[in-house]
Amino acid sequence: MRIPVIAGNWKLYKTIGESVAMVNELKPLVAGIEGVEIVVAPVFTALGSVSAALSGSAICVSGQDCFWEEEGAFTGEVSPKLLKDAGCSHVIIGHSERRLYFGESDDSVNRKVRAAISAGLTAIVCVGETLEERDARATFTVVGKQIRGSLDGFSADDFKQIVIAYEPVWAIGTGKTATAEQAQDVHEYIRNLVLMLSGNSVSDSLRILYGGSVKPDNIKGLMAQPDIDGALIGGASLKAATFAEMIRICV
Ligand code: PEP
């Protein structure tokens, strides 16, 4: 049994006040819902306040990125230890926007995942192909390379703190969702690859989320697929009522 994860990536939206207001609205809407891991990922500056507002609630808090060093002369960076200190239990690593705009590579993702796990965080590791790569029928090659590089060297124990998010770049923020079948094909490919690389028990228990324009009207079909274990949601996670509606559909 894999407990589904519904994670909201707030990207570069919301002040501290807006973030706290959002979780205060969300809390009663999802109170008592069981059997799903709910995660919100506000901007760095709001993490402490959001964590405090969520104290005593089952909603988890995530960073949107981290650095691999614990501390040192690394101006502007935030370490997994500091995310923990701010109340996080999760961190998103290797989001396609970081790969595209900030030069994130499979190697840097790998180092960040290692550091996140050491600090006791659950790493939500993002992979996904561009439209050009899909059109060139290179989806499996691209995603396979990202998985091998980003997750090379992790043990079965490490994988207990790893969640993969398959997010086709062409579906993120575009309103174009992969069909449930397109998503399932890639999720199945990822699970089989992890089976080959890390064995049966790791692949069986690994949560693989889908991300890319997930909305209340498409989440049910996606979640019905055997290898889709939740969603990483950007735009549609910014409103408490919509986010709660999607969580309810999943349980
Ligand atoms: C994301 O930010 O990871 C994402 C999937 O965004 P959206 O849901 O807006 O496509």
Confidence band, pLDDT 50/70/90 cuts, at residue 1: confident
CA of 150 to the centre of ligand 1 (A): 20
The answer, yes or no, to whether residue 185 has pLDDT greater than 90, is yes
Task: Quote the pTM value.
Answer: 0.98
**Mean pLDDT for all residues in the chain:** 97
CB 86 within 8 A of CB 52: no
The answer, yes or no, to whether residue 140 has pLDDT greater than 90, is yes
The pLDDT score that the predictor gives to residue 176 is 85
Q: Report, as an integer, the average pLDDT of 71-100.
A: 98
Tell which residue, 154, 168, 160, 153, has the closest CA to residue 209.
Answer: 168
Query: What tokens were used for 170?
Result: 């062409």
Percent of the chain exceeding pLDDT 70 equals: 100
CB 49 within 8 A of CB 24: no
The answer, yes or no, to whether residue 91 has pLDDT greater than 90, is yes
Q: Which of 97, 104, 129, 167 is catalytic?
A: 167
Tell which residue, 173, 199, 194, 172, has the closest CA to residue 183.
Answer: 172
Instruction: Tell me how far apart the alpha carbons of residues 72 and 92 are, in angstroms, rounded to a whole number.
Output: 22
CA of 175 to the centre of ligand 1 (A): 9
CA of 194 to the centre of ligand 1 (A): 24
62: Cβ contacts below 8 Å, ≥ 6 apart: 7, 39, 40, 41, 88, 89, 90, 91, 92, 124
How many Cβ atoms from other residues are within 10 Å of residue 193's Cβ? 17
**Is the CB of residue 94 below 6 angstroms from any atom belonging to ligand 1?**
no
When mean pLDDT is compared across 17-31, 70-84, 173-187, the lowest value belongs to 173-187
Q: Report, as an integer, the average pLDDT of 199-226.
A: 97
